[in-house]
Structure 1
């Protein structure tokens, strides 16, 4: 399938083809005119030569007397390699009386009649004395005319072979200069994403591109407003949804403390478990909504070491199995990265929560921060195939695990990291082991 063609390439192609065609048409018309002019020049030379030879031939025949056989005119100087004109002197009966040294003794294939005649081998002009007793026929070769025409056409065509490349170079230079603002605008628009929605500057753009730039800037302003509204809505929704669920859960727990009847208490415990599951699912859905709103892309920076330390400390203190976490860092100082600290914290929370929830009970969850600022989280788990690793990235998709969960953690993390321009690499088994699961958060080298 052919990809999109560039505007500058199409302009250069069509302009070059047009220039070349125009030059070739001009050369063709020039060759036609030149052929007609050459024909007139050759015909004039034939006629002038024949008419000038008539008195000379009559005088020569007068001195020779009667001629029974054709007489060849000998030349005293060396004959040229190429002879353009040959002639014959004939009587009214067509008999050849005299002929030039390069002409054959056989009569020319032309009638004994004053005027031009086009034969198979050349063009002939016949001149005669006043009483038409002597006829002089002068002939030039068709090959000579054709050679002259060919050389003349080549003389017109050869400069074109030089002019066309020069024209192409000039067209390329002009097109690049004229379309430079278009390329600048294209690059500026192509660099816009959810985290870079600032208005594009209008300096240096031609008048024809300013309406396009104005429309793009208006669109960017609307996108900024929409994204801000979405982020504000999800933030407010998170607060509004957490409060009633937390209240219902607290009331259920108070009810459990007061209930003595076992069947009634068992139903209340089921309600508590459902509310806890709903609270976790609501939290994941709110995180997913924030990820879809583009919170991962922001024109700010955060320190990887600080965010990782806060999240790990929070799990170690709050989670029931936080003691399984083994944290190590090779960073010697701050590791600033572009993006939102809140979004990166959500990523770490989901990855660590998945490792604690789906990892083998009793085996540690190792969290490592490399000297480059990359984060690695690994846990014990059954070996997974490439298809299973690809599947767990999808929403509501879960691996081979009996633990409770919504199947949204990895998809949320992958979505946020993609917005931040960070790679999430999932590996199973862990290198050097026969099983295990490992998630690497890898920042680009230029970060």
Structure 2
């Protein structure tokens, strides 16, 4: 399991160590310049301690305790002292020094045997006092300073790691609180998590979780309502079938037995249709994945649906036909659109009444494919047109039986296809027209060339 705390520690600890190393390097280079100035002043000061007495003797004030190690110029804490008279060395703190005679007073850099020396000389008559120090000795002094700065940084790494470990743990405490809050909940507790005391960085995560909880609550509520409605709707046909099955053995005559058998078949067909509609509606729930879309010929689709329903229409004495303006195509899922049109045609046949006319109209208006199903039946009153989209709502004044799910399924499929669905009245305010207007698409060349009026029915 990947630990967020460990991951942060792996990134922060090297970053802190690198910052310490960079700070030490910056201090090193800064100290190098400061140390050069300081040691230059030291060279000056030592040179000024050398005094030439009136009798010609040299007096080294303050240098009585000097020794060869102290005055060799090879160590970071030492300098080389020389006194020259002309080109003759009258005094040297290091007799083996290879430095040549000085050429003048002031600061000078000498390169002898591949080694760089930094020197300062003062002139008093024909006497020149020179104080020198190897450049390498200065670098060693700076290196000692840098090491003294680096060791505290390195020694603080464990302490820093400890502070980072507990600091990150403290920073992640809100996440543990959220986890504990969710762990204490059951499936019925979908209340939002409060964000008042949450850090700003955690609020987007909490908002996303709250949005998920809201959607889950909405889905669970819809599911519970759907199950309750389905159970209520299934209870009536099941009870009817149970009652007819109990009456069948008690039938007194063949005629009564045939009547009960016919009622059982009708009830079975109604129950099968209701179960099919329920399964279709469950597949079309908002949480279901969006079906694959492709180019669909609405005219061919309508022709196939009418061919499947023409015998059913004849049994109900319905004149079923197709009015199409050639090939009309749109983007969609052919199976879903077939279910949609099947439901519209079934509803029209079921509720239009005897001797009615049902037409399926396919057209293109203003670049948009349109699909309409109109009938000459009693229609739907204005006050009921918003209610019929609800599940299991059948309205009043209809003798035909139905599941009350057809228009709910139509609306779900229309939403998947971003189509606008509406209810209207037919000619002379009679009947019902269900219209679907699909998003605008560019018709193909073949579709444009084959446009012509066609009536089937």
User: Given the two structures, how large is their TM-score scaled by the length of structure 1?
Assistant: 0.45
